[in-house]
Amino acid sequence: MRKSATRIDPRALEARAGEAAATQCEAYLLEGGLEAWKKAGLPVAVDRGQPIEIMRRVQIVAGSLVLLGVVLGIWVAPAFLGLSAFVGAGLAFAGISGWCGMARLLALMPWNRPARMASGSLIGLVLGLIGGGGSILAVPLLVYAVGVPAHVAIGTAALAVALNALASLALHARRAPVRWPCAIAFSIAGVAGALIGAAFGKMVDGQHLLALFGVLMIVVGLLMLRPKPAAGAASERLTRANARRLLPRLLGAGAAVGVLSGFFGIGGGFLIVPGLMLAADMDVRDAASASLVGVAAFGTASASSYAWSSLIDWQIAALLVGGGIVGALAGSQANALLAQRKTALTRLFAWFVMAAGLYVGVRGTLSVLQA
């Protein structure tokens, strides 16, 4: 049956909305569109869990590619400036012709289809290319780009971070020694803390959690801007002789870091490294190696808690891990090219993390205030 179309006033439409919903046999053309509905003071429901509109995504992608072309053109090779020129020419063509190839391409992306879990592979690729600290972006990307609920994003990111840390630990342990006694003691206490933190995290409203996560991202960015300490003397090993002195410090620091890791669903490597250095007088290189044990343990504990509550998207997690492996391989090739600019790139990424944290925090706070 063909539905009729009638032009009516917004307030008249509100009065007949219940009847139209019940019969499902009439369609209405609202004079003035949604803006007229808003101007009439009628209620509007906004689903903030949905991905942002396509043209905003075009602006984000185009702006990022132009910035990337400029940065690589200055620091790596002038030929990369061609990327910025290509994107600029494409936007000019879109404005003149009304046809935007980037918008059509983005519309075909996996997250715009029912099988949105395929976008997890793209996120994993980005995290693998960024390297240390990149996992802090997993939760906001899953929430705002893929449309995953906050708690599911945290549980899924925790699982992916844990599995990627286990893979990195297996490779790292073959090349360099790991201070296993200190790492295990730190991790045992941290697992208990992560379970407690995850339990509290699941009790907090998703928007409140995102607002706090934005603050955490800003803190992480500030920590990344700090100069790395120089390698010191050989690290002290945990033995029976010094266990009475080192063990309480390791257990206390591990439990504190574990609570934060479980609450936010992150690996917590940026906190584990200084925690091990302070608790066990570790050299920074040994602390970085041992931190992988903690990241894997804390992530596994947090993920198991969220999995128990059915708050993990297993398909996205699998693609995050697969994308991370691909990104690690691609990153190893890029590291040789960008080795001389690694400090500058780290600082640039730190500022990006802080800017993203400001966005996540402000958006989460506004959602809380509007609730």
Question: Where do the structural domains in the chain lie, given as residue ranges?
Answer: 4-39, 51-108, 118-370
Asked whether the beta carbons of 250 and 185 are under 8 A apart, the reply is yes
d(CA 235, CA 285): 9
- State the pTM of this model: 0.62
- In this predicted structure, what is the pLDDT of residue 265? 78
Cβ neighbours of residue 357 under 8 Å, at least 6 residues apart? 213, 214, 215, 216, 217, 218, 220, 221
| Alpha-carbon separation of residue 276 from 39, 134, 149, 180, 184 (angstroms) | 58, 21, 33, 12, 11
Query: Which stretches of the chain drop beneath a pLDDT of 50?
Result: 1-8, 10-23, 114-119, 128
d(CA 204, CA 177): 40
d(CA 58, CA 60): 5
User: If we measure between CA atoms, which residue out of 283, 249, 252, 253 comes closest to residue 268?
Assistant: 253
Question: Tokens 């369609």 label which residue?
Answer: 27
- In this predicted structure, what is the pLDDT of residue 105? 77
- In this predicted structure, what is the pLDDT of residue 38? 77
Residue 313 CB neighbour total at 10 angstroms:
21
Both structure tokens of 302:
């947090």
What's 100's DSSP letter?
-
User: If we measure between CA atoms, which residue out of 350, 349, 366, 355 comes closest to residue 211?
Assistant: 366
